[in-house]
Amino acid sequence: MYYSFWGMHLFWWIIWVLLLVWIFMTPYTIPGEMRPKEDPFDILKKRFAKGEINEEEYKKKKKFLEEDRKSSKDQSKDKK
């Protein structure tokens, strides 16, 4: 007796191919996805590059961020 299972077999191949296409073709930036937070220095550099702030303001804010980073490292060492 000859049984033909090509109908169901073909169906599952189609499902697997569609699943793989969906997985690899989905955009990497899915809404609600956790993204790494930007470093304040990166944000400052971008604002300077866009022309939102001038060089004097850039240097002043960069100095503030460096001092803040240094003081936060010192505080974390004191706690240990």
57 belongs to a structural domain: yes
What angle, 0 to 180 degrees and rounded to 10, lies between the N-to-C axes of helices 55-79 and 40-50? 180
Range of the domain at 57: 6-79
Mean pLDDT, consecutive 10-residue segments, the chain of 80 residues? 64 90 77 75 94 95 90 67
pTM of the model: 0.49
Provide the pLDDT for residue 48.
95
- Count of domains observed in the chain: 1
Q: How confident is the model at residue 61, as a pLDDT?
A: 95
Residue 62 lies in a domain: yes
| Whole-number pLDDT of residue 20 | 92
pLDDT at 55: 95
55 within some domain: yes
In a domain, 53, yes or no: yes
pLDDT of residue 42: 92
Give a three-class secondary structure readout of the chain. Answer: CCCCCHHHHHHHHHHHHHHHHHHHHCCCCCCCCCCCCCCHHHHHHHHHHHCCCCHHHHHHHHHHHHHHHHHHHHHHHHHC
